[in-house]
Amino acid sequence: MTVTSTYTVSDKKTDEEAPCILACPIRQDARDYVQLIARGRFNEAFQLVRERNPLPAACGRICTHPCETKCRRNSTDAPIAIAWLKRFLGDNFSEEPGRPISRRYPEKIAIIGAGPAGLAAANDLALLGYSCTIFESNATPGGMLRMGVPTYRLPRASIDNDVNVIKKLGVEIRYNA
C-alpha cells in the first residue's frame, strides 16, 4: 500500500455539530472513530462505530456517504473517506469477540425477518439485555442486502461479518421459518 498523503488529526472539537454528522442519516459522529483509526486503535474504533451502526461492513459499501459531501475538508483539499474507513473497520475487525451481555430482562423478543431492520433491532435489544430470536423465511440473513444488492457491490462475506458480530451478542436466527 502506498501512502500518498498524511494528515494531522486534531483533538479539538467544537460544541456545534459538524456538517458531516448533520448529513448522516444515523447521525454518526465520525470524528471520534477517525481519530482512533489515526492512532492505530482499530478495535476501539470498530466498537465505537458499532454503537450507532450494527452493519458497518455493509454500510461502508452501499451508503451514499452524504457526510463526505458536507465534510469541512472539502474547502481545503478532499473529504475524509469516511465510508472507506467504516468499510475497513467492518471488514477487518468484525471477528472481534462480542461484548458479554447479561440478560437483564426475562422477556424474550421475537423479530420477524433478518433484513437490515430486523438485524439492527436485534442488535440494539440484545445490547439492552433482552434475549432475541429472529425468524427468517430465507436460508440466509441479510434480506435485501443479500437478495437485492449485487455481489460486486456488496460481497456476501461482508454481510456475514456484520451478522456474525450480532450473533455473538447472543442473538439467535432461525432460518426457513
Q: Give per-residue pLDDT as tens, 27-65.
A: 999 999 999 999 999 999 998 999 899 999 999 999 999
Q: Which of 92, 120, 142 is the last residue of a domain?
A: 92
pLDDT number for residue 102: 78
The CA-to-CA distance between both ends of the chain, in Å, stands at: 45
The predicted pLDDT at position 13 comes to 57
Asked which of 29, 62, 92 is the last residue of a domain, the reply is 92
The CATH number of the domain where 26 resides is what? 1.10.1060.10
If you ran DSSP here, which 8-state letter would residue 137 be given?
S
Residue 23 shares a structural domain with residue 85: yes
112 with 164, same domain: the answer is yes
The reply to whether 36 and 80 lie within a common domain is yes
pLDDT in tens, 80-91: 999 999 999 988
> Which residues does 56 contact at the CB level (< 8 Å), separation at least 6?
46, 49, 50, 86, 87, 89, 90, 94, 162
> What is the count of structural domains for the chain?
2
What domain range includes position 82? 19-92
Out of 45, 68, 92, pick the residue that ends a domain: 92
Q: What is the pTM of this model?
A: 0.84
CA–CA gap between residue 90 and residue 58 (Å, rounded)? 8
Low-confidence ranges of the chain (pLDDT < 50): none
For the stretch 102-139, what's the b/e string if a residue is b when 16 or more beta carbons lie within 10 angstroms of its beta carbon?
A: eeeeeeebebebbbbebbbbbbebbbeebbbebbbeee
